């Protein structure tokens, strides 16, 4: 079972990807994690990627796909995997598609966790983080016992820059421009399934497992 998770930043697709991986016993493959592991282990692919990253450049699609294919060729992926954070653009999806086809393989499902922008802005701007111990809260869903203070270490909680409404709006604009077209791409392939990401986390997961069986 080879699955791609789609959805805007803050839609909760990473959480769902981890839950799917755990339930079905397949790896949760995050491109960020793979890059970090390759760089840390000093692999040839990792060193190639690092050259671009050190210059503040995006790693080219072809190299990203090579690193990804290297990861999914490992034994723990033989029964499938959940891809999280890739592909982000149509060219990436096409390169991945061609590479999998050469291996006689394909993606089984692209699951879109659909959440309207206004919900995401509200959801993310409600997050609060403790910069001292790393604990996270949400003013509506997981509030601290004392407003603005971390339960665990007593430090002040902050709204991180990347959770501020103006930052979230910019990230959503990039998502709609680059990543939204993937929904049409996978719909044409007949593998797209959409779930309502505004539902409680357990209900979103139940909808996904209903699709996957």
Active site residues: 13, 88, 127, 160, 171
Distance CA 38, CA 133 (A): 27
Distance CA 2, CA 82 (A): 6
Among residues 6, 14, 61, 16, which one has the least CA distance to residue 204? Answer: 16
| Half-sphere exposure for 184 (CA within 13 Å, toward CB) | 8
Distance CA 36, CA 24 (A): 25
DSSP-assigned states of every residue in 119-171:
HHHHHHHTEEEETTT--EEETTTB--SBTTB-TTT-PBEE--GGGSHHHHHHH
Contacts of 124 (CB under 8 A, 6+ apart): 9, 10, 163, 168
| Residue 5, helix vs strand vs coil | strand
Distance CA 106, CA 95 (A): 12
């Amino acid at each position: 079972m080879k699955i791609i998770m789609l959805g805007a930043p803050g839609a909760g697709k990473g959480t769902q990807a981890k839950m799917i991986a755990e339930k079905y016993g397949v790896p949760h493959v995050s491109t960020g994690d793979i890059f970090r592991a390759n760089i840390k282990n000093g692999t040839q692919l990792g060193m190639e990627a690092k050259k671009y990253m050190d210059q503040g450049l995006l790693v080219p699609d072809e190299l990203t796909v090579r690193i990804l294919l290297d990861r999914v060729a490992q034994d723990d992926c033989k029964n499938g995997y959940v891809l999280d954070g890739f592909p982000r653009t149509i060219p990436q999806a096409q390169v991945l598609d061609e590479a999998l086809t050469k291996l006689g393989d394909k993606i089984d499902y692209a699951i879109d966790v659909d959440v309207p922008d206004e919900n995401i802005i509200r959801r993310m701007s409600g997050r609060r983080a403790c910069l001292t111990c790393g604990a996270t809260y949400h003013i509506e869903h997981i509030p601290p016992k004392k407003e603005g203070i971390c339960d665990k270490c007593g430090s002040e909680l902050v709204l991180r820059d990347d959770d501020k409404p103006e930052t979230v709006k910019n990230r959503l604009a990039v998502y709609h421009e680059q990543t939204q077209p993937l929904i049409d791409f996978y719909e044409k392939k007949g593998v797209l399934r959409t779930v309502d990401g505004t539902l409680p986390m357990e209900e979103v997961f139940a909808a996904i497992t209903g699709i996957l069986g």
